[in-house]
Amino acid sequence: MIPLNTSIVSGVALSKIDGEVKILLMKRVKGGFWCHVAGSIEEDETGIDAIVREFKEETQIEVSNLYNAQFLEQFYEASVHVIQLIPVFVVMCPPEQEVVLNEEHTEYKWCSLEDALELAPFPNQHAVFKHVWSYFVEKPVNTLYRVDAG
């Protein structure tokens, strides 16, 4: 049997940069790949608490417009023999959102969907970005997806 891990959350930040909606990607120190915000749910935290904290820690973004992306990232992590199931959130940032990275990342870019797909190495990242773009950029955001960020 392969165990499931549901103790991680991830989030995609969107902001209008120079008049166009962009996705925030950051380059991880560990592994050197481009990614969106993600991290572990700590003891006594909800998934919502964890994603708000992770955005603050990794980017200094204060989350106020938070949405359930209605998407689960899922992949097999061979190094620990676990299937990861990760709920995805979307953070709608104000235009020209500033980013201050912590020590987990070396650089960041606000990307078009095409640029994000080119930079991100994993197929599941591509699926997340395409889903978020479809439901949060190309269509009006469904208010039912809104969650209270506390």
Residue 93: inside a domain:
yes
Please give the C-alpha separations between residue 7 and each of 10, 27, 88, 93, 137, in angstroms, as whole numbers.
Answer: 11, 22, 12, 25, 28
Average pLDDT over every residue of 54-66:
97
Domain hosting residue 103, numbered range:
4-145
* CATH number reported for the structural domain that contains residue 39 in this entry: 3.90.79.10
User: Residue 47 — φ and ψ, nearest 5°?
Assistant: -60, -40
**What are 9-22's pLDDT values in tens digits?**
999 999 999 999 99
As for how many domains the chain has, the answer is 1
Residue 34: inside a domain:
yes
Nearest C-alpha neighbor of 92 from the set 46, 150, 23: 23
Residue 88: inside a domain:
yes
Residue 150: inside a domain:
no
**What are 67-123's pLDDT values in tens digits?**
999 999 999 999 999 999 999 999 999 999 999 999 999 999 999 999 999 999 999
**Residue 150 predicted with pLDDT over 80:** no
Structure tokens at 43: 């003891």
**Residue 56 predicted with pLDDT over 90:** yes
Confidence of residue 28 (pLDDT cuts 50, 70, 90): very high
